[in-house]
Amino acid sequence: MNQLLTLIDTDSELQSEEKNEALEQVIILVAAAQNPLDEEMRRSAKTAIRILKAVIAELPTNNLLLQECKQLLPAIARVFD
């Protein structure tokens, strides 16, 4: 999660509003990871992942954040399945 926070924070192609939204979603994922079996936390995590995917969807294909999210988000999602 730290890697994801750093990538979002340093990405120059995200607008500040998108960056803030993405950072908020990672914070939700961190909180949900503390109790991944709780149904409310699982729903929150799945919503956060969908929002993160939407935020990065418009980034260019060579963007580092986009590339890393393609690897990290599916792995994170498996924790909440």
Angstrom distances, CA of residue 4 to CA of 1, 9, 66: 5, 8, 10
pLDDT digits (tens, 9 = 90+) for 15-74: 999 999 999 999 999 999 999 999 999 999 999 999 999 999 999 999 999 999 999 999
Residue type, 68: E
* pLDDT given for residue 1 in this prediction: 84
3-state secondary structure the chain: CHHHHHHHHHCCCCCHHHHHHHHHHHHHHHHHHCCCCCHHHHHHHHHHHHHHHHHHCCCCCCCHHHHHHHHHHHHHHHHCC
Domain that holds residue 75: 2-79
pLDDT score recorded for residue 6: 94
Q: What is the pTM of this model?
A: 0.91
- Number of domains observed in the structure of the chain: 1
